[in-house]
Chain A
């Protein structure tokens, strides 16, 4: 697995943490806002990483 491919399982783990306990418990005060904000952030992160890694790939 090259370095580019290692990013994705890591991002998956980040998302798994974001969308589960204990973060859900921590933000239980305004859970709907937390979930949509973190969801949006996660999608943005995917997009940014794709843009960076696509640039780094040799033509």
Chain B
């Protein structure tokens, strides 16, 4: 036994130590050397989750129901991986929108609704009261275990409650805080987390390794005892799998929605990056503090303890062993666990009550003298009130339930906010009506299925009369609503609460509309949209902002806030810009939100700094514009997306189906696109070609060809003897690069060559008559001379002379014939495609040597005017073909005789050859068509119409030009230009 006054002294001493720790941390913060802005303190402060429920209740639960205590800690561990997604989102939104409580979060999301905020506050207050009672019950129980008599314990309970209330005020309500963050409190909570962890580990070590021989010993002995069922879950044990899953879910929601958890996790967070460390540090803390729960629980039973008193095994075991130091350490640990919860929870609750229930009525009375002091005193009163509510619950109802049972009721209570919160963060259509309906029905289910049976059991509510009749009915039994039996009470509650809550939330959100304010807030929350874009013109000044702030937090504090802001931004009071003034107002609103809640702070500033009609209009227009722009329906977007995809596919099909190779390269010569035809031309697949350098893929195209300054059409031969025409041009895409079109003209080239050959033979054919005459004459002469030679003797000198002269003549004729045949042979052979440097005048001579045999040229005067020109690179057979065609056409035009004048001259970078005749000329109506294939003015059978089109093709191949000037009856001049060699 320990003296009660000693225990009170220890309590007082420990609380004073906590206060000093908090004070030290605040001093460090003011001097700019904060102890709190690091992830380790943040993670330790999250351990406020571990209350006397963990310290005592878990052991009690393990001793009575085995492993069912564990889901309470596995749940937060399971949620930790998701913090990177939704907790970060909540943190950003909270900081951006100056949110300080869960009621603020929901009220703000659903159109800054004060009613919803108030509803959430009432639900939380009712839901958390049992949890507050749990802590006080644990403290009073442990006090009575150590100090003994119940009556003194009752008085001690009162004293402890009052002391805790005072300390809660000292920690959280010394002043109407300008900032929602309390560095001193956080550091104290982190300190307490270490104290309770050490205390539990020490007593756990003592029981496991001093009183027993380790984990193996305890579990083996338990397995062999009548309590072996405590080591299992499922059928035949105290907890089945569905209850296990329900408990897991409850704790997953609790780690977010319990007011103290929200306050520490969200409001007290100083840096988003701390969340990453906390994601594993906090679960690790939970792991450590639970290692010895089962050894202590089973150890207590094995040492003869009663399962009914298992909640206090942590204390009673060392007490029974006479380890006073350990007992006091455990007492402090347990007290620490309870205190941190009570202080933070009451602070969070008081902020909710102030912001959502009190200030909406009170803020209009800011003209009351000492208004800030009034607000502060009200907040202090609310803190005391919360703790007292917990006390009354502990005294009148708590005795009927274990700590865990009480705590789980509170866990279940905050689960009510889950649908409205999660849908609210990710679904824009969720509206206020849905949230109110969902939360209301959820609260009714919670109250009816969980709290009311407790109130009836504690005889706070009568069991008889109409209430008892309803609760005992088949349809409305709180343990089996609508006849649904076979579920444990937590699963039963969760099923109906989530089903009806979600149903009503979704139904009303879909069936009812949103007001403009709700739409705007939905955008802010779901899209994490920064509200700064809606900044307005200012019609207020610094002093006005300071005055408004001063009305609620005091003049001195308000001046400090303004001065601090101006100093941080380097702004002078007399020289503040409109933009900076808006930011000052934002800062002032943020500060006031910490004291009064964001909704009220917004109203105060909007009320005091009245918007002009124009500004209201501008604000309304801004919001309308944004919502209209963003109102492009999913359907329209999907439709646009489909059209885009179809267009893309269509364009790609065109390119893939094209009978030419298309390749695009980027500015670094890497292939970006390679169509199907390119695979055929190059033999290289698209997958191999993409992102490769173009040169190794197409080595038969010179590198110079890909240089942008030298883009031109060219014809190349591939190693596989394909003739490819290539057009390279600049790619008109923002990414730049080149696009090359490759056309396989091998077959066309072959056909052209065959056509050329046919044309040559056709030309030859025209010359046949003249040539046969030219060959026939000398042959006839040769024949005649041979006959004469056969008949003479070579006796006389005259005969010898005749023979000599005849042989010379025959030789001359043979040479002449040979020359003609050679010319024909040279002309008729299949021409090569090679271009060589040659004197154009030689080609002209050779051509004339052919045509002169034509009888038409007997009557034609042939004149030449050849100026000195440099040799040019041409295919001599093809150019001879052109000259022959032009000369024969001239001959056709001068059937009755005339003059053909051919001149060659140099003009700039070209050589010009003119073929001017004095023939019948060409009609104006047909002159533009003479180069068209198969166009002829000659009677049917006399011309194919291909001669000039072949000439045109040949000259174009030589990068030259061919043109015509003619006048009907006035002759025709063909002008051929060929480029000089560079």
Contact = CB atoms under 8 A, between A and B. Distances in A.
Bound pair (A, B): yes
Interface of A: 1, 5, 8-9, 11-12, 15-16, 19-21, 24-25, 28, 31-32, 35-36, 39-40, 42-43, 46-47, 50, 54
A5 B84 contact: yes
Contacts of A50: 276, 279-280
Interface of B: 67, 70-71, 74, 77-82, 84-85, 219, 231-234, 241, 244-245, 248, 276, 279-280, 283-284, 287, 291, 294
18 contacts: A5-B84, A8-B85, A11-B81, A12-B81, A15-B81, A16-B78, A24-B233, A24-B241, A24-B244, A28-B234, A31-B67, A31-B231, A31-B232, A32-B219, A32-B231, A39-B287, A43-B284, A46-B280
A54 B84 CA distance: 12
Given A12-B78, A43-B287, A32 B67 contact: yes
Nearest to B285: A43
B559 to A, nearest CB: 41
Given A19-B78, A35-B74, A43-B77, 5 more contacts: A8-B81, A35-B70, A39-B283, A39-B287, A46-B283
Contacts of A35: 67, 70, 74
B294 A8 contact: no
B82 A8 contact: yes
A20 B244 contact: yes
Contacts of B78: 12, 15-16, 19
A5 B280 contact: no
Given A16-B78, A35-B70, A39-B287, A28 B232 contact: yes
Contacts of A54: 276
Contact of B74 (A12, A25, A39): A39
Given A46-B280, A50-B280, A39 B241 contact: no
Nearest to B75: A19
Contacts of B85: 1, 5, 8-9
A32 B294 contact: yes
Contacts of A40: 287
A19 B248 contact: yes
Given A8-B81, A9-B85, A20-B241, A47 B280 contact: yes
Contacts of B67: 31-32, 35
Contacts of A12: 78-79, 81-82
A42 B80 CA distance: 10
B280 A31 contact: no
A43 B283 contact: yes
Nearest to A44: B280
Most chain A Cβ neighbours within 10 Å, of B67, B81, B241, B283: B81
Contacts of A43: 77, 280, 283-284, 287
A32 B869 CA distance: 105
Contacts of A1: 85
Nearest to B282: A43
A16 to B, nearest CB: 6
B241 A21 contact: yes
Nearest to A28: B232
A39 to B, nearest CB: 6
Identify which of B233, B244, B280, B287 gathers the most chain A CB atoms within 10 Å of its CB: B280
B716 to A, nearest CB: 46
Given A46-B280, A47-B280, A20 B248 contact: yes
A15 B232 CA distance: 20
Contacts of A21: 234, 241, 244-245
Contacts of A31: 67, 231-233
Nearest to B79: A12
A57 B67 CA distance: 40
B274 to A, nearest CB: 12
Contacts of B219: 32
A47 B283 CA distance: 10
Contacts of B231: 31-32
Contacts of A28: 232-234
Nearest to A16: B78
Contacts of B294: 32
A39 B280 CA distance: 11
A8 B279 CA distance: 11
Nearest to A4: B84
Contacts of A16: 78
B240 to A, nearest CB: 9
B63 to A, nearest CB: 14
A54 to B, nearest CB: 7
Contact of A19 (B74, B81, B276): B74
Contacts of B82: 8-9, 12
Nearest to B241: A21
A39 B233 contact: no
Contacts of A19: 71, 74, 78, 248
A15 B77 contact: yes
Nearest to B78: A15
A24 B74 contact: no
Contacts of B70: 35
A19 B244 CA distance: 9
B289 to A, nearest CB: 12
- In the A-B complex, the 5 residue pairs with the smallest Cβ-Cβ separation, listed nearest first, are A47-B280, A11-B81, A21-B241, A8-B81, A46-B280
Contacts of B233: 24, 28, 31
Contacts of A47: 280
Contacts of A24: 233-234, 241, 244
Contacts of B283: 39, 42-43, 46
A11 B234 CA distance: 25
Residue of A15, A36, A40 most packed against chain B (CB within 10 A): A15
B252 to A, nearest CB: 10
B430 to A, nearest CB: 20
Given A20-B241, A31-B232, A31-B233, A42 B77 contact: yes
Contacts of B276: 50, 54
Contacts of B291: 36
A49 to B, nearest CB: 8
Nearest to A39: B287
A1 B232 CA distance: 40
Nearest to A43: B283
Residue among A20, A21, A24, A43 facing the most chain B CB atoms (10 A cut-off): A43
Contacts of B80: 46
B703 to A, nearest CB: 37
A9 B248 CA distance: 17
B279 A46 contact: yes
A32 B68 CA distance: 11
A50 B280 CA distance: 9
Contacts of A39: 74, 77, 283, 287
Most buried by A among B71, B276, B294: B276
Nearest to B245: A20
A50 B43 CA distance: 15
Contacts of B279: 46, 50
A42 to B, nearest CB: 6
A58 B79 CA distance: 26
B232 to A, nearest CB: 6
Contacts of B244: 20-21, 24
Nearest to A5: B85
A32 B223 CA distance: 12
Contacts of B234: 21, 24-25, 28
A47 B284 CA distance: 10
Nearest to A25: B234
A5 B245 CA distance: 25
B513 to A, nearest CB: 30
A24 B233 CA distance: 8
Interface centre among A9, A20, A40 (most CB of B within 10 A): A20
A24 B67 CA distance: 11
B81 A46 contact: yes
A39 B282 CA distance: 13
B204 to A, nearest CB: 13
B153 to A, nearest CB: 35
Nearest to A22: B241
A5 B82 CA distance: 9
